[in-house]
Amino acid sequence: MEGKLRNSGIGIIGNVPWGTHFCQFYQTKEDLMEILVPYFKAGLENNENCIWITSQLLEVEEAKEALRRAVPDFEIYLKKGQIEIFPYIRGYINEGVFDSERAVNGLKEKLNQALERGYEGLRVTGDACWLEKEGWTDFVNYENKVDSVIEKHQMISLCSYHLEMCNATEILDIAFNHRFSLIKREGLWDRIENSGRRRAEKAVFQAAKDWEQTFDAVPDLVAIIDNECRIVRANRAMAARLGVTQEECSGLTCHRVMHGTDEPPSFCPHKQLLKDGLERITEVHEELLGGDFVLSVSPLYGPDGKIMGCVHVARDITERKRAEKALKKAHECLEEKVKARTAELEEAYKALKENEGRLSEAQKMAHIGNWDWDLVTNRSYWSDEMYRIFGLEPQEFGLTYDKIFNYIHPDDRDYLENSIKRALNEGSCDSDYRIISDDGGERVVHAQGEVVFDEENKPILMKGTVQDITERKKAEEALEKMERIRIKEIHHRIKNNLQVISSLLDLQAEKFRDKEVLEAFRESQNRVISMSLIHEELYKGKGNDALDFSAYLRKLSEKLFQTYSLNGKNISLYMNLEENTSFNMDIAVPLGIIVNEIVSNAFKHAFPEKKGEIRIQLQKEKICNEVNRSLFSLKISDNGIGIPEGMELASFESLGMKLVNTLIDQLCGKIEIIRAHGTEFRITFNVTERSQIPVGVE
């Protein structure tokens, strides 16, 4: 262990460092006393805590008496506990058996107590004369273990072995576990080094070589300086800065080459270190070395424990100083800007807090909350009103995607997840869904959100608002219900009025005998019936303006068939109608009148032999998704005598066919006549899916 050398008290050994673990082989009690008495005398005089563990050969009282004769103040040392002398049973034996763990732990505990009481360290000896042969192996292992403890701490340990108890093998075991051994030859004590120590010295040599390489590789200016301020050795960086070789540095005085003075300056850290032995670090500006440096000096001790010089390290901090100066100037400038900016921010913060308060109050009044969702961390932020909308106390718990989804109505979760997925691709979403609060209450909310993308176009944040629209939804549903009832009532009244008109026409027709007049009345009555049927279907429907036109056509055709079959005609009616086709009144009314006119004309004029068939076909031809509209075709055909060649639709003089032309224009549609085995009227028109408003046919 590194540190100051300690006086062993034994002439042949001299001073030893802390961590020294050595042994003594003796033959007589006098041999033992000859080493141990001066050993402990030196320890007591140098403020060390001493422990002497005796064996059968030398009892405790004999040891005390020997020390009394050698140490004048022994009783004082003994009374204050600086030295303890006790038998091996207390130090090594536990319940009649050698306990190595107890011995090692006891040694550590004694050291800690010694240091706490202000002693420099611990000096120990133990005699193994008590050891039986069967316990030898355990004791050797203990010596090996305790050696690794001693070498790391402020301890010196001397182990005593009686030669009569040891054979040659055992002596080798003992010597191997100690740094060196003491043995008496021809009346003189001899010191025998451990061969392992020589190997250690070789390792030290290699370490020194490695140190030299490291010494020269250090970029700092490093020199070893003796007590006369002479450079003993300088590294490559120091020599280069001084402009000489490393060999030429040796012998130069540090104050001359570094400060340009004949004597060390007053601030010289090396001079101060020689006075008090303390390490020092200081900053200096050296013109001769060309810059600013941090100087540090650390003491070097000789074998006698006295300072023999120092390690002098100079680190060039010139560039750092320049940078610090520039940084300081920039910092001062920045500080002024920060002060000004801080004042602005304080005002802005004050205004922000006021705005936050107003925003929170406004959100509370409007039942609108705002939210952020960090897609990277899956953490969410809710405003206070968001919590209230979901029936929670503001900031009640930490929010995650899964926790939030627990409050979504089970039937709406898939819809909301799909809406979020679309938003992550398209950038925004707008949806209504239901939530269920902790108390089981159900609310309807309207959510809007937009997505923030990073430089790689990856979504990283989603933010938006949620508004509680439960009351609005209830009001809208109530209004829709009232509107449906109102619309159905209107259709019912219109239907009744048209039926009254039809009945009046029927009564009025009874007063006439002229066939043309009667026919005119019947045609007018059929037109009224066609419109009445529309209002009847709408009245039976869901209360909106959408009419199942295929069902309506069947009823209208059946009415016409019943009307004209009374004349004894054997005419068949075939219909092929597109199912689930709904039109609003703007389309249904003119189409109904057109069908009425064309079918009526077929009944009246196409079958002079009173036999034939009429076909009606309605189908969707194509869908244009880009403009959200569909092309429909309505075909009305018969296998009667047909329309004479050369007669076009515009040349018809009858009111009914003129009405057909007018209604086709109203539908923005087209009509054409096909003459083949009778007559076919082919009508095409476009319908927008949402509004069901007719648009022009290209």
What's the pLDDT tens digit per position in 301-327? 876 788 888 888 888 888 888 888 888
pLDDT in tens, 106-134: 888 888 999 999 999 999 998 877 777 66
* Structure tokens belonging to residue 225: 């300086």
* Residue 384 φ/ψ region, left for φ over 0, alpha for ψ in the -120 to 50 degree band, beta for the rest: alpha
Q: Name 382's bridge partners.
A: 371
Are the C-beta atoms of residues 49 and 172 closer than 8 Å to each other? no
Are the C-beta atoms of residues 647 and 608 closer than 8 Å to each other? no
| Beta-sheet pairing, 670-675 with 679-688 | antiparallel
Separation of alpha carbons 391 and 163, rounded Å: 92
Separation of alpha carbons 527 and 594, rounded Å: 9
List b or e across 424-457, with b for residues whose CB sees 16 or more CB atoms inside 10 angstroms. eeeeebebebbbbeeeeeebbbbbbbebeeeeee
Name the CA dihedral angle for 383, 389, 392, 398, rounded to a multiple of 10 degrees: -40
> Which CATH code is given to the segment(s) 477-695?
3.30.565.10
Q: What is the mean pLDDT of residues 665-690?
A: 86
CA Rg value for the chain? 58
Are the C-beta atoms of residues 254 and 225 closer than 8 Å to each other? yes
Residue 593: what pLDDT?
A: 86
Q: Is pLDDT at 4 greater than 60 in this prediction?
A: yes
* Short-list 556, 552, 603, CA closest to 580: 552
Are the C-beta atoms of residues 443 and 409 closer than 8 Å to each other? no
| Beta-sheet pairing, 611-624 with 570-577 | parallel
Separation of alpha carbons 173 and 169, rounded Å: 6
SS3 642: coil
Q: What is the mean pLDDT of residues 673-687?
A: 88
Separation of alpha carbons 220 and 198, rounded Å: 34
Are the C-beta atoms of residues 205 and 47 closer than 8 Å to each other? no
Domains 201-316 and 367-468 share a fold: yes
pLDDT in tens, 210-257: 767 777 788 888 888 888 888 888 888 888 888 888 888 888 888 787
pLDDT in tens, 122-167: 999 988 777 776 667 777 777 777 887 888 889 999 988 888 777 7
Residue 511: what pLDDT?
A: 62
Residue 393 has phi, psi (to 5 degrees) of -75, 140
State the Cα angle at 143 between 137 and 147, rounded to 5°: 150
Count of Cβ atoms closer than 10 Å to residue 370 Cβ: 16
Q: Where are the alpha helices (DSSP H) in 127-244?
A: 136-150, 168-176, 195-217, 236-242
Q: Name 161's bridge partners.
A: 25
Separation of alpha carbons 293 and 316, rounded Å: 5
| CA distances from residue 615 to 380, 585, 605, 634 in whole angstroms, order as listed | 65, 24, 16, 11
pLDDT in tens, 379-412: 888 888 888 887 787 776 666 767 777 888 888 8
Count of Cβ atoms closer than 10 Å to residue 650 Cβ: 8
* Structure tokens belonging to residue 483: 């509107």
More confident residue, 288 or 457: 457
Residue with tokens 């802005």: 348
State the Cα angle at 232 between 226 and 238, rounded to 5°: 115
* Mean pLDDT lowest among 201-205, 519-523, 625-629: 201-205
Q: What is the mean pLDDT of residues 430-436?
A: 88
SS3 readout for 182-209: EEEECCEEEEEECHHHHHHHHHHHHHHH
Q: Is pLDDT at 363 greater than 80 in this prediction?
A: no
pLDDT class for 691, splitting at 50, 70, 90?
very low
Separation of alpha carbons 696 and 698, rounded Å: 6
Residue 522: what pLDDT?
A: 60
| CA distances from residue 274 to 182, 264, 269, 301, 311 in whole angstroms, order as listed | 37, 12, 9, 11, 12
Say what the pTM is.
Answer: 0.35
| CA distances from residue 400 to 372, 376, 395, 404, 467 in whole angstroms, order as listed | 11, 12, 13, 6, 20
* CATH topology classification for 201-316: Beta-Lactamase (3.30.450)
Separation of alpha carbons 492 and 535, rounded Å: 7
| CA distances from residue 625 to 386, 587, 629 in whole angstroms, order as listed | 39, 21, 7
Residue 197: what pLDDT?
A: 53
Cβ contacts of 398 within 8 Å, gap of 6 or more:
379
Q: 196: number of CA atoms within 13 Å, CB side?
A: 10
Separation of alpha carbons 379 and 374, rounded Å: 5
SS3 266: coil
Are the C-beta atoms of residues 40 and 9 closer than 8 Å to each other? yes
Hey, where are the domains in the chain? 6-193, 201-316, 367-468, 477-695
Residue 512: what pLDDT?
A: 65
Name the CA dihedral angle for 129, 130, 133, 138, rounded to a multiple of 10 degrees: -100
Q: Is 365 exposed, middle or buried (0-12, 13-18, 19+ CB in 10 A)?
A: exposed
* Structure tokens belonging to residue 304: 């006698």
Which segments of 510-610 are extended strands (E)? 547-548, 570-577, 582-583
Alpha carbon 362 to its chain centroid, in Å, reads 33
Q: Is pLDDT at 695 greater than 50 in this prediction?
A: no
Q: Is pLDDT at 640 greater than 80 in this prediction?
A: yes
More confident residue, 406 or 457: 457
Average pLDDT, the chain: 80
Q: Is pLDDT at 455 greater than 60 in this prediction?
A: yes
* Residue 4 φ/ψ region, left for φ over 0, alpha for ψ in the -120 to 50 degree band, beta for the rest: beta
pLDDT in tens, 32-66: 899 999 999 999 999 999 999 888 888 899 999 99
* Mean pLDDT lowest among 12-16, 75-79, 476-480: 476-480
> Which CATH code is given to the segment(s) 367-468?
3.30.450.20
Dihedral sign, CA of 268, 270, 276, 280?
Answer: positive
Residue with tokens 């009526």: 600
Count of Cβ atoms closer than 10 Å to residue 132 Cβ: 9
Report, at the CATH architecture level, how domain 6-193 is classified: 3-Layer(aba) Sandwich (3.40)
End-to-end CA distance of the chain: 105
